Structure 1
Amino acid sequence: MAHSRPPRTGSDRAGHVETRGIDCVPDDERHGSPRELFALWAAPNVSYLSFVVGATLVLMGLSLAEAFAVIASGNLFWLLTGFIAISGPASGTTGSVVSRAIYGVVGNKAVVAVTGWLIAALYLALNWSAASVAGIGLAARLGLPGSAALDAVVITLIAGATVLVAIYGHATIVRLYTALTVLLALVFLALSAMVLAHADWSYAPAAPLTGPDRLVALASGLTVVASTPLSYANSPDLARYLPRGSGSAAITMWTAAGAFLPSLVFTAVGALAATALDMSDPQTALESVMPGWFVPVFVIGVVLNTMANNGMTAYSAGLSMQSIGVRLPRVAAVLVVGAIGTAMTLFAVLVFDFLTAVNALMEVAVVVTGPCMAVYATDILLRRNRYDGRALHDQSRTGPYWYRGGVNWPGLLATVVGALAAALCVSSSSWAGPVSAATGGLNLALPVGVLGSAVLYAALSRALRTIPAAPAAPASATTHH
């Protein structure tokens, strides 16, 4: 028997600007089911950037089999993104507020300023760059004279449309992304068929990598692929409106599956594209296998995907701004984040090489995002996902998450030490840590940062007994603050 949905009495309605910021969602305004998370995460990951990443693996010198193994392994980290999403319905608030339990009221502000503002703005710029490069290429094909001014107009239009999605908020995103998933899947599956018609399935590198060089390439490739799921610490923000009784396993799997499946397929197609096309210039290479009429369709697909990806990123970045104490309404906070991301995009497109930017950002960002995600997931396990939303909004010195001086030292130390250790082990075109240099360029930032931070946080939390500070019963998690 079908169940009718309860009426939505709050601000979370499709087609209306969401007015709720980081305050807790009361039970009578919870709605939806974990299944809707699939499209919510699929639309951002039916992505042109996946083609670029897949091609990068082959350009590193990996064989097809090695590239496919790296793609499958790296995308398994979407399970971590899905797992931390369960804290959203449990607490009724955003991930940037839940993390006060991990870092303390004051410590959380420093961490979220980096992960919620800086890293988010960098990914906004990266994705807008991909869409802008495609849009600028289409303008040239249409005969428009190339200029920095035209490039700036294309970038600004794409960014503006994306920010509009973030302004309307959660319910509009859920409704819109269901349609976008179908549309984008059709466009990119058609492109994939064109690429596969030219792919060399028997491809082998001209000079196959062996020994340490092979291990270096595999580790670097895994870091590049895994850096995408590790960058999405905002999954609780998009699940917080779900009813409290929503199953944790369902939330985890629908979130992970929505991102994993398109990422796996289109990154693999990108690797196959590099067997026959010169993917050092991805857009030109892909357009060479398209009929002329399909090029505008492809560009529209890239732009729509970028709007989907950056729409949720800008949405969460605005909430992060509120969580660290910036006294702006959610909409104004989104506009500020959008302006920062647009400025970075102008630099990336007009000053810096796009493919270089992709590799440099995705290899280095994991130094920060990996430890943050690992510590977050470990906290959920240690607390058994019991978070009191009202208590998390209590920022007073007598509140349960003030700890010592406003800092929960196990969380902050585990994250900082993990990030520093990862930085010593990272290897990219822009930075090589001393450990990486001593091992011939081997990039161990991923295992060191993720596993090291998780183990250190669990050990310090138990030693200092900070986890009991969490309330045992989340009965008040839906009270407005």
Structure 2
Amino acid sequence: MDRTASSSARTVLVERRSIDYIPAAERHGNLFSQFTLWFGANLQITAVVVGALAVVLGGDVFWSLVGLLVGQILGGAVMALHGAQGPQLGLPQMISSRVQFGVYGAIIPLALVCVMYVGFSAGGTVLAGQAIGELLGVSNTLAILIFAAIVILLTGLGYRIIHAMGRVSSIVGTLAFLYLFASLLNGHAWSTLITNRHFTVASFLLAVSLSASWQIAYGPYVADYSRYLPKSTSALKTFFAVFSGTVIGAQVSMTFGVLAAALAGDHFAGHEVAFIVGLGATGGIAAILYFTIALGKLTITTLNAYGSVMSVATIVTGLGQRRELSRGARLAFVILSVGVSSALALAGQHSFLKAFSSFLLFLLVFFTPWSAINLVDYYWVTRERYDVPALFDANGRYGRWNPVGIAVYVVGVLVQMPFVATGFYTGRWVDALGGVDISWIVGIVVPGVLYYAATRFVQSRVPDQLILPDTLGDA
């Protein structure tokens, strides 16, 4: 009977879990699926645009590529450390914030995460709409609506279909980028671009910040897609599977963006989709490239929509003291999230590049402190010893509010403000630093150190060992 139940759980297509713990009988998958998911999710046009920004905003090719790689490694390490939590806890990423902030206090970063999902989805939907519009011969407005409908369908199916999309995107994206690189570099003396170097600290750190922010922004939902792996899965191997997939995929896309911006200049910026497809001339190859662009955006936008459901479910269940949402409620939140991001895409489709650049960099202000607090707590304070059942009880071990976590988070946000340089806000110390934005470095180091130090002086809420529902017979 147990074997039959386990087999059934592993073959069902539509996911039935939301934020509740994944019991051992329902664990499945392998580490290669983590690599393909994040490799495929990064082989997409928005990552190309982010790479291009390093050159569009003043950098040379060589140092932009180096800076982007440094940012990938630093940000990818932060992101993958979050991902390694999934198999151990069997939970979505953001619900673990209840340990550091309290059951109600976790709503603070959760609300900001929801804004992130909507913003990223809106930016990606603009580019997907351009591709689908050209592929189907319809207006961008109709194309955006078609794209939104497909995202809603795939997100409703859940975890399995998302990983399947990752595998398909990895294959299709690899083939497409091989062709695009060959087409872009054919007939161009691209080697001269590498040797023409004009290093500046500001441009180099901008490149680092672009790719680091790209990776760190995945942190709030990366464990959502590793939580079904068997608990016996090595945390170190999970880290490297996620890290290698996201770093390699993003660096490939951003390298293409750097070269495209350097070679094409004004013909690329603002015309990203048309330029990329133009490399394939016309006919069947152009159609395949439009499809590839749409598929890449479909994968990552589905990740964002799914992540928004996890975040909303965490907020709602925290307030209502429940363990999960019904399928109907989850679908309603998916429709709401995708609807808002699509509306923003329709409204802002003609000023995408500049707005997205500012949005991406400004996100760091709010998510680097959260990442620092979460990682320091998990790896150095609690040392992976969570009481998972208590995460669903506002009257339990972690309480409604954790003043220490909340205070450190607020300080972590505020301490970055003098160093922020974005279209939204520029700090008072930026000019003195030559226009360099180092806020994300401050946002990692300061709250991480403060949180570790502060927890030394408060009563411990840490159990003696990791407590899972399985061990209590509640699964």
TM-score of the superposition, structure 2-length normalised? Answer: 0.90
1:21-170 matches, cutoff 5 A:
21-76=18-73, 77-115=75-113, 117-138=114-135, 142=137, 150-170=139-159
Q: Answer with 175-184 or 263-272: which moved more.
A: 175-184
The residue aligned with 2:427 is 433
Is the Cα contact below 8 Å between 2:87 and 2:235 reproduced in 1? no
Greater mean alpha carbon deviation, residues 225-234 or residues 383-392? 383-392
1:273 aligns with 2:270: no
CA distance in 1, matches of 2:179, 2:198: 33
1:297 aligns with 2:283: no
| Secondary structure of the structure 2 residue equivalent to 1:242 | coil
Q: How many angstroms apart in 1 are the aligned matches of 2:332 and 2:474? A: 21
Q: 1:63 to 1:137 in 2, by over 3 A?
A: same
Query: What is residue 419 of structure 1 aligned with on the other side?
Result: 413
The separation in 2 between residues aligned to 1:197 and 1:41, in whole angstroms, is 29
| Structure 2, unaligned runs of 5 or more | none
More moved, 287-296 vs 248-257? 287-296
More helix by share: 2
Residue deviations 1:230-268 (CA, integer Å, cap 9, x gap): 111211111111111110001111011111111112211
* AA aligned opposite 1:358: F
The aligned runs of 1:321-332 (5 Å cut-off) are 321-325=312-316, 328-329=325-326, 330-332=330-332
* Alpha-carbon distance in structure 1 between the residues aligned to 2:126 and 2:4: 40
Report if aligned partners of 1:220, 1:363 keep a CA contact under 8 Å in 2: no
Partner of 1:385: 384
Q: Could you tell me how far 1:138 is from its partner in structure 2?
A: 4.9
Counterpart contact for 1:5–1:31, Cα < 8 Å: no
Measure the CA separation in 1 of the matches of 2:116 and 2:102.
21
Structure 1 residues 178 and 59 mapped into 2: Cα distance closer, same or farther (>3 Å)? same
The RMSD of aligned alpha carbons is: 2.3
Please say which of residues 36-45 and 430-439 is displaced more in the overlay.
Answer: 430-439
Tell me the secondary structure at the aligned position of residue 435 of structure 1. Answer: coil
Give runs of aligned pairs for residues 372-411 of structure 1, distance below 5 A. 372-382=370-380, 383-395=382-394, 397=395, 399-402=396-399, 406-411=400-405
Change (3 A) 1:230 1:302: same
Distance (whole Å) between structure 1 residues aligned to residue 461 and residue 184 of structure 2: 55
Measure the CA separation in 1 of the matches of 2:233 and 2:316: 30
Give a deviation string over 1:448-468, Cα, whole Å, max 9, x none.
111122112111122324xx3
- Tell me the secondary structure at the aligned position of residue 67 of structure 1: helix
The answer (yes or no) to whether the contact 1:192–1:266 under 8 Å persists in 2 is no
Residue 183 (structure 2) aligns with:
194
**Structure 1 match to 2:464:** 472
Instruction: Work out whether residues 408 and 450 of structure 2, in 8 Å CA contact, stay in contact via their aligned partners in 1.
Output: yes
| Contact in 2 for aligned 1:26/1:480 (Cα 8 Å) | no
Q: Deviations over 1:118-163 (max 9, x none)?
A: 1111111111122123334556xx5x6xxxxx32211111121122
Q: Does 1:258 align with 2:245?
A: yes
Distance in 2 (alpha carbons) for counterparts of 1:381 and 1:270: 36
Say if 1:5 and 1:189 are closer, same or farther in 2 by CA, change over 3 A.
farther
Q: Distance in 2 between matches of 1:154 and 1:209?
A: 41
| Cα contact 2:384–2:466 (8 A) shared by 1 | no
Distance 2:278 2:164 in 1: 34
CA distance in 2: counterparts of 1:274 and 1:473, whole angstroms: 52
Specify the alignment match of 1:173 in structure 2: 162
Unpaired stretches in structure 1, ≥5 consecutive residues: 145-149
| Separation of aligned partners in 2, 1:268 and 1:323 | 37
Q: Which residue number in structure 2 is paired with residue 361 of structure 1?
A: 359
Give the secondary-structure state (helix, strand or coil) at the position aligned to 1:469.
Answer: coil
CA drift at 1:205: 10
User: 2:316 aligns to what SS in structure 1?
Assistant: coil
Residue 206 of structure 2 is matched in structure 1 by 220
Q: Check conservation: 2:385, 2:467, Cα contact below 8 A.
A: no
Separation of aligned partners in 2, 1:198 and 1:288: 15
Q: Are residues 1:317 and 2:314 paired?
A: no
Contact 2:135 2:291 in 1 (8 A): no
- Which residue matches 1:147? none
* Alpha-carbon offset, residue 286 of structure 1: 2.5
Residues 67-97 of structure 1 show CA distances to partners (whole Å, capped at 9, x for unaligned) of: 1111111111112111112222222211121
Asked if structure 2 preserves the Cα contact closer than 8 Å seen for 1:51 and 1:269, the reply is: yes
Name the CA distance, whole Å, in 1 between partners of 2:167 and 2:5: 20
Letter aligned with residue 272 of structure 1: L
C-alpha displacement of 1:9: 3.7
Deviation at 1:473, TM superposition (A): 2.1
| 2:421/2:430 contact within 8 Å kept | yes
Q: Percent identity?
A: 23
In 1, the alpha carbon distance for the partners of 2:201 and 2:281 equals 39
Distance 1:322 1:413, change over 3 A: same
Offset of residue 209 of structure 1: 5.0
Aligned length: 454
